[in-house]
Amino acid sequence: MFEPLTPRTLLLTQLLATAMMAGIIWFVQIVHYPLFLKIPTEGFVAYEQSHAMRTGFVVAPLMLIELGAAIALLLLSIASGGKMPTAIGLTPLYLWSLGCLALIWASTFLIQVPLHHLLEQRPDAKAMELLVSTNWIRTILWSIRLGLLAFLSAGRIIF
């Protein structure tokens, strides 16, 4: 039976969305972004515009689901007055995972999105290199967040 908006389902939703995003970001970091420098200059802008649109269709829903479930679990925990089991959202490890998520969103919209907007206008090798180097922020944070959520989920989610 499906239990909407329980701590268990919200934690599982986050775990799955975070695991998917961690996998995607590692692929992007190791394979996709470094290959930007191999795209011929004359076709780069069209490629980047298509890349941004297609990538958005994949990552935007996952990021929004992850964020929504994270906030919902925090609010549910606050509303419970700190009583277990709903208070998982108030534990230090969960709050650290939220901090990781906040930094991921900040990095995305303050660093990576502006770099992509620049690259949608013209090829720029320095911007591409900056994209690769700064994307490590998100790669590391999503990996840490996944570890924290997996640890928090152990024993709480029964498949």
Residue 117 phi/psi, 5° resolution?
Answer: -60, -40
Q: Is residue 159 included in any domain, yes or no?
A: no
pLDDT computed for residue 2 by the predictor: 57
Say if residue 64's pLDDT is above 90: yes
What's the pLDDT tens digit per position in 134-152?
A: 999 999 999 999 999 999 9
DSSP state of 81: T
Q: How far apart are CA 96 and CA 148, in angstroms?
A: 8
User: pLDDT class for 86, splitting at 50, 70, 90?
Assistant: low
Total domains in the chain come to: 1
Between CA 102 and CA 63 the distance in angstroms is 11
